[in-house]
Structure 1
Amino acid sequence: MRNHATTPTPRRAPGRAPRPPAVRAAAAASAGVVGLALTACSSPAAATPGIDDETVTVGTHQPLTGPAAAGFASISAATSAYFEHVNANGGINGRTIEYVVKDDGYNPATTQTVVRELVQEDEVFAMLNGLGTPTHSSVLDYLDQNGVPDLFVASGSTTWNQPEEYPNTFGFNVDYVVEGAALGQYAADQDPGAVVCVLGQDDDFGETFLQGVELALGADGVATYQTYSTSNEDVTAQIGAMRKAGCEINLLATINGFTAMSLGTAAKMGWFPQWYASSSGGDYPTLVEFLGEDVGPKLLDGFVSANYLPNSPGSDWYELFQQINDEHNAGAPFDGNTVYGMSVGYLFAEALAKAGEDPTRESLVEAVESGELAGNGILPLSFGPDDHAAYDGVGIAVVSGGVQDFVDATYRVDGDTVEAVEPEPVPLEDDGVPTSD
């Protein structure tokens, strides 16, 4: 399997250079014969980009460098490690999976360049887990126009859940409205009289997260809403405004680096409110790495976050992913990004198995929409023909004694209703390698 973790190369025009007239004429004269030969010997798999009798090639854009790299660069390596595990166990319907990873630096302009390379030069079968709302939004129309399955986008934006406009695009992260609503409801359940505030990224991430919080707490339930930009690594003004507003529980729509920055900035002010974070910025080991081993565990004790994947030390999935990480990921640190990346890989493998022995792009999309995929979350997948969001609920995790684990609180959002539900974790089967049975 190739694990192409590459930096962007200069953008090239698609296709080959023009051929001389004589060459074009000769090619035209033989086109009919060649076309008949290809038709006679080709299989359905050979007619589909990125797939042959032995291999399936998928691609992704990831922030291996840039402002989001420290929090998310390890995800694609974990996905690649999971695919190594699948390939070592016979692949899916006899095909190994190759994952082509290209660095976009969390820059939308670069995302456009590398995604065109993946589609036009690498001829990928599908795009898998492209990361980031601003980055992936910049290639959404391009992928749609080229008929490329756009699976399991690494962002909780509701943009990916538009089946009529983008029939080939599906999200993976629980959407930010759901996370905001669940965390807001948990805050209300734990401390009904607390002053609640929100700090959000100045884009769809923060805006939709706030919508969810207000769904749970009402339009007047948030004392102040502050925003930050990833281009400005200073949140002193925002944290100062939240302290002045008397915030007691701060809900964060932040990536990991800015979660750590928020807690660290508040601590320097001598201010220690309760912190709740989206899954995108709530991974304990990553936050400790940012904050340092000396102060991180102290600042994060009691830290609350949302999650929907089996990121629990007692889970069979967790133990399997630790084993895969040791065997196929060069001893990389094991954290929430590892569980996330391998969970993405598992869901793609499951969709590929469901797509049939000779999968096409169309059958792959149909497999995701079928409602028959299980995934490995703590709640069932919600995919269907009219719903391209993966999950409609989350569990609540709390850090205690240096361990981040789920507590007895799981919420689902149904329309305008936030309801407490029982988790329904998917059991591990077949050593984590899906079959077509």
Structure 2
Amino acid sequence: MKQSTAFGIVAATSFLALTCLACKKGGEERSETKAAVRSEAEIKIGQTMPYSGPASSYGTVGKLQAAYFKKLNAKGGVGGHKINFITVDDGYSPPKTVEQTRKLVEQEQVLLVFQPLGTAPNAAIQDYLQTKKVPQLFVATGATRWGDPEHHPWTMGFNPSYQLEGSTIAKHLMSAQSGSKIAVLYQNDDYGKDYLKGLKAGLADKAKMIVAEATYEVSDATVDSQIATLKGSGADTFVNITTPKFGAQAIRKAYDIGWKPTHYLSNVSASVGTVLTPAGLDKSVGLVTVAYYKDPTDKQWNDDPAMKEFITFMKEDYPEGSLSDSFHIYAYIAAQTMVQVLTQCGADLSRENIMKQAANLDFAPGLLLPGIRIKTSPTDFFPVEQLRLVRFDGKDWVLFGDVLSAN
């Protein structure tokens, strides 16, 4: 058994296994990338997740997915195969991610790595997994590097790209307040830089509207000083490109020092339960972000069949999870997408076929916003390329505008 710092014992006990190890066919052992299901009907899936460290609020993603696969196993698994989901803590630390991923691949012999979280942690393991030809599937980050099938055919992202999100915000900003003075706070890694690149691309020749930029490191204690500096720039618009801990700090600090800009928030920090509530709901009124899945706090979805099913799952299978935390919707949709890929694989659960099916998706999980689909192709490794704008009214994120696409 393997112990997870997030939820105790996480190995082949809680959720029966989905262990795809190489087996022999026709008297000859198949190659490492031709792993086949063993007679025990197991498929083993690995994951690294920050159950500790500066991004630990994301740990609930892995916990929910563990509960989802456990429930699926109780119903017979996928095509009769049970899932052994091994999710381990990397503390949002790239060196730790490398260490844990090597253990998953070389000791646990997982078929694939599903939803490893974080831009820097995933960048640290990408080349290793390419060399091993192990799928790095539905990476939980929106950096553009996860959608490059020509150079990294074993890696596929899941989130809408940060550049798409940044350009979407830019287009709205120019239409709503074209004379703005913009201040930007961003995480000093590929996540923040990708988003800023998209923002500037969307602004095009209006990029000079950005009058101040400030960065932070994930190891920083707070971003209070950065917020004070950005306020001092005279900016009337604030683009907040942060992860949850720092997102909540930025919202709260801006309000407390009397800075009341038009405030755009990155989608990865848009959870009412995890970010806005700690920051203060009253301090979050008027925030604008993008969305692609339904918000569990939004009453318009009370009678929605998919939301009812999700709430039942939460109450029965993950009762410790908050229904106000939109990360749970995200985690649920990602798990459904993983199951869709495995279902499409049929009897061929080789690593090559896993990637082939992941690159041939076209379906709409019920918790996506209307008009948005998960769609991929052999040349398009971005599953979600449509967004909606939403504004926080003090209780809920309220949709406005049309579905916006990458095209």
- Equivalent residue number for residue 45 of structure 2: 58
| Residue-by-residue CA offset, 1:386-427 (whole Å, 9 max, x unaligned) | 11112222112222241224333432223xxxxxxxxxxxxx
Does the alignment pair 1:349 with 2:339?
yes
- Equivalent residue number for residue 13 of structure 2: none
1:193–1:230 Cα change, 3 Å: same
| Residue-by-residue CA offset, 1:194-248 (whole Å, 9 max, x unaligned) | 3222211111111111111122222323222221111112323321222122222
- Equivalent residue number for residue 122 of structure 1: 108
CA distance in 1, matches of 2:334, 2:313: 14
- Contact 2:67–2:317 under 8 Å retained in 1: yes
Does the alignment pair 1:212 with 2:210?
no
**Bigger shift: residues 346-355 or 325-334:** 325-334
CA distance in 1, matches of 2:392, 2:77: 37
Task: Describe the SS at the equivalent of 1:271.
Answer: coil
Aligned residue among 319, 324, 327 for 1:337: 327
Task: Describe the SS at the equivalent of 1:239.
Answer: helix
CA positional deviation for 1:60: 0.5
Does the alignment pair 1:363 with 2:353?
yes
**Bigger shift: residues 189-198 or 297-306:** 189-198
Task: Describe the SS at the equivalent of 1:73.
Answer: helix
Between structure 1 and structure 2, the one with the greater Rg is 1
Does the alignment pair 1:221 with 2:220?
no
CA positional deviation for 1:81: 1.9
CA distance in 1, matches of 2:174, 2:294: 25
Aligned-residue CA RMSD (Å): 2.6
- Equivalent residue number for residue 384 of structure 1: 377
- Equivalent residue number for residue 12 of structure 2: none
Residue 5 of structure 1 aligns with an amino acid whose one-letter code is S
- Equivalent residue number for residue 10 of structure 2: none
| Residue-by-residue CA offset, 1:262-291 (whole Å, 9 max, x unaligned) | 112222312222221111112111114433
| Residue-by-residue CA offset, 1:3-41 (whole Å, 9 max, x unaligned) | 96348xxxxxxxxxxxxxxxxxxxxxxxxxxxx998569
Determine what percentage of the aligned residue pairs are the same residue: 25
Does the alignment pair 1:325 with 2:314?
yes
CA distance in 1, matches of 2:114, 2:2: 14
1:391-402 mapped onto 2 (5 Å cutoff)? 391-402=384-395
- Equivalent residue number for residue 311 of structure 1: 295
Task: Describe the SS at the equivalent of 2:374.
Answer: coil
Runs of 4+ in 1 over 4 A off after TM superposition: 36-47, 49-53, 373-376
Does the alignment pair 1:258 with 2:246?
yes
- Equivalent residue number for residue 140 of structure 2: 154
CA distance in 1, matches of 2:389, 2:70: 31
- Equivalent residue number for residue 406 of structure 2: 413
CA distance in 2, matches of 1:4, 1:359: 27
1:3–1:374 Cα change, 3 Å: farther
CA positional deviation for 1:339: 0.6
Residue 321 of structure 1 aligns with an amino acid whose one-letter code is F
1:184-263 mapped onto 2 (5 Å cutoff)? 184-218=170-204, 219-263=207-251
CA distance in 1, matches of 2:24, 2:269: 54
CA distance in 2, matches of 1:316, 1:408: 24
- Contact 1:306–1:396 under 8 Å retained in 2: yes
CA distance in 2, matches of 1:285, 1:80: 21
- Contact 1:147–1:168 under 8 Å retained in 2: yes
CA positional deviation for 1:120: 1.1
Residue 254 of structure 1 aligns with an amino acid whose one-letter code is T
Task: Describe the SS at the equivalent of 1:232.
Answer: coil
Does the alignment pair 1:279 with 2:267?
yes
Q: Mark the runs of 5 or more structure 1 residues left unpaired by the alignment.
A: 8-35, 415-437
- Contact 1:180–1:210 under 8 Å retained in 2: yes
Task: Describe the SS at the equivalent of 1:61.
Answer: strand
Residue 55 of structure 2 aligns with an amino acid whose one-letter code is A
CA distance in 2, matches of 1:191, 1:409: 18
Aligned length: 380
- Contact 2:363–2:375 under 8 Å retained in 1: no
CA distance in 2, matches of 1:4, 1:95: 23
- Contact 2:286–2:393 under 8 Å retained in 1: yes
CA distance in 1, matches of 2:166, 2:33: 45
- Contact 1:152–1:344 under 8 Å retained in 2: yes
- Contact 1:45–1:360 under 8 Å retained in 2: no
- Equivalent residue number for residue 16 of structure 2: none
Residue 243 of structure 1 aligns with an amino acid whose one-letter code is K
Q: Mark the runs of 5 or more structure 2 residues left unpaired by the alignment.
A: 7-22
**Bigger shift: residues 73-82 or 280-289:** 280-289
- Contact 1:81–1:342 under 8 Å retained in 2: no
CA distance in 2, matches of 1:209, 1:288: 21
